[in-house]
Amino acid sequence: MSGVSRRDLFKIAGAGLLIGSSLHTSTACAKPVKTAGRMLPPPKGNRVVIVGGGWAGVTAAKHIKKEMPSADVVLIEKRKIFMSCPISNVWLGGLVDMDFLMHDFHTPASKYGYTFINATVLDIDRSKRRVYTNEGYVDYDYLILAPGIGYNYDAWFKGDKDMARYCATHFPSAFIPGSEHIALKRKVHNFEEGTFVLIVPPPPHRCPPAPYERAAMIAYVFKKNRVKGKLIILDPKKDIKPKGPGFRNAYIELYGGLVEYVPNAKIKEVDPVKKVIRTTAGDFRFDDANLNPPHRAGDLAWKVGLVNPKTGWCDVDPLTLQSKQDPRIFVAGDAASVKGFPKSGDMAHNHTQTMVVKALVALMKGKDPKEAVRAPTNTCYSMVNGDPKEAIVINVIYDIDRKKGAPVKKKVNVENRRSEQLARATFEWARALYRDMFS
Ligand SMILES: Cc1cc2nc3c(=O)[nH]c(=O)nc-3n(C[C@H](O)[C@H](O)[C@H](O)COP(=O)(O)OP(=O)(O)OC[C@H]3O[C@@H](n4cnc5c(N)ncnc54)[C@H](O)[C@@H]3O)c2cc1C
């Protein structure tokens, strides 16, 4: 078994990450489900329940407790272990071990004094302010909903669930952490010859540079393994964005002949059985592929009626990230739609601290939540070479426009010249964020 080590497989299976990914299409509103009884005694002060222990949720739990120790904070997460999507492309390229991506939920819960519940949230009764899980229910005063993204296979298969399942099984997207990443790594490292296609999802999708970084890491593996074939990147956009020159130069200078970038390739039809993709830039046959459907807010957000069906994301106040449907609920991370915010781990970590937590804590202290909000930043490194390790970076600094009541971009810095120094900074960035969230 090349590419994926036995230890990696053991970790991910033991971690309970072999949970089916989002094939759901339901947009129906919640009906309370029958589950076991109340899970926790009534709190002494305000109780904040956080649903989803990803980049946004874990950050929220710690920072609420730091800013307001009297708050009763409960984090509910369905996975048994945290696996990071950031750096997973680097792991795909074989440059780090899976240990680098894996973290536990217990250490920060114990250190900062919040309750961690390992359960799946099935429903939320917003009128009762009650969260139903497969283990029982928990009542809240305020809720932070941070369920991440779901895959919108309906955009390709128009409700044909069998085809969606076939596609997800045979050509997993690996934009939601877990078993899919293992499957993709195995495909890439075992590929010997022919055409491998990577579809870039239409914007807005999780981590704008991630498909291009993934392409660079796949090309790196193909080059190392002397693959007789090529990687075709099908992009619905007219150009690579962000860090276009950095990615383009890497594809040409490092992997010339191995990578074919096709712009303006909007998907018309995907046939995973015949292995054909019809696009506005022509038709493509493939031997193997990473088929990435459009993204949208995580399934639970749809289930509880907080998604705008026109956009697929949750409408929120752009300063506090309070849901426009329910002021008791804040939406943090990728599921929220804020103009100018990329759906990245760095942004989820940043806006959760500087906006969501600040606003919520102010609200609980009887202060003006909008006044409490601070401007976030977003930094995103992308590894483009494996030997030597080289990366590029984008950094965006935001400001708060108090008159507009919204964040605005103040400065954008991009470094498209790949370097080993930026590769080292990539690992330092990841370690610093993992440290903040998990230790
Ligand atoms: C390949 C790849 C590379 C990336 N690289 C970078 C990078 O270099 N830098 C960067 O900043 N970002 C990167 N990202 C983006 C980053 O992973 C996301 O933006 C980030 O994870 C968003 O955080 P979140 O909390 O919104 O969602 P997530 O981190 O996905 O967390 C959502 C959590 O909610 C849980 N959940 C969902 N539904 C339920 C339920 N019903 N009950 C209980 N729990 C539930 C899920 O299990 C999950 O743990 C990358 C993404 C990918 C796919």
Asked if 436 and 349 touch (Cβ cutoff 8 Å), the reply is yes
Atom of ligand 1 lying closest to residue 57 CA? 25
List pLDDT tens digits, range 291-314.
999 999 999 999 999 999 999 999
Distance, in Å, from the CA atom of 122 to the CA atom of 329, rounded to the nearest integer, reads: 16
Instruction: Name the residue with the closest Cα to ligand 1, atom 29.
Output: 54
Distance 294 CA to ligand 1 centre (A): 15
75 lines ligand 1 (CB under 6 A): no
Q: pTM value?
A: 0.93
The low-confidence residues of the chain, meaning pLDDT below 50, are 1-2, 6-7, 9-30
98 in a structural domain: yes
State how beta strands 276-279 and 149-151 pair: unpaired
pLDDT of 36: 80
290 in a structural domain: no
Q: Can you give the length of the chain in residues?
A: 439
Residue 116's SS3 state is strand
401 in a structural domain: no
Structurally, how many domains does the chain consist of?
Answer: 1
pLDDT of 175: 98
8 lines ligand 1 (CB under 6 A): no
356 lines ligand 1 (CB under 6 A): no
434 lines ligand 1 (CB under 6 A): no
127 in a structural domain: yes
291 in a structural domain: no
State how beta strands 276-279 and 267-271 pair: antiparallel
392 in a structural domain: no
| Tally of CB atoms within 10 A around 233 | 26
Which of 82, 120, 74 lies closest to 101 in space, CA to CA? 82
Asked if 217 and 92 touch (Cβ cutoff 8 Å), the reply is yes
86 lines ligand 1 (CB under 6 A): yes
Strand partners, 135: none
pLDDT of 16: 40
In the block, residue with structure tokens 């605005």: 408
Instruction: Name the residue with the closest Cα to ligand 1, atom 23.
Output: 55
Instruction: Name the residue with the closest Cα to ligand 1, atom 4.
Output: 86
Ligand 1 pocket test: pick from 33, 104, 344 the residue with the most ligand atoms within 8 Å of its Cβ: 344
53 lines ligand 1 (CB under 6 A): yes
Range of the structural domain that residue 303 is part of: 6-150+296-371
Distance 79 CA to ligand 1 centre (A): 12
Distances from the Cα of 150 to the Cαs of 262, 313, 350, 393, in angstroms? Answer: 25, 10, 22, 26
Distance 84 CA to ligand 1 centre (A): 7
List pLDDT tens digits, range 268-295.
999 999 999 999 999 999 999 999 999 9
85 lines ligand 1 (CB under 6 A): yes
Asked if 171 and 291 touch (Cβ cutoff 8 Å), the reply is yes
63 in a structural domain: yes
What CATH number does the domain containing 302 carry? 3.50.50.60
pLDDT of 298: 98
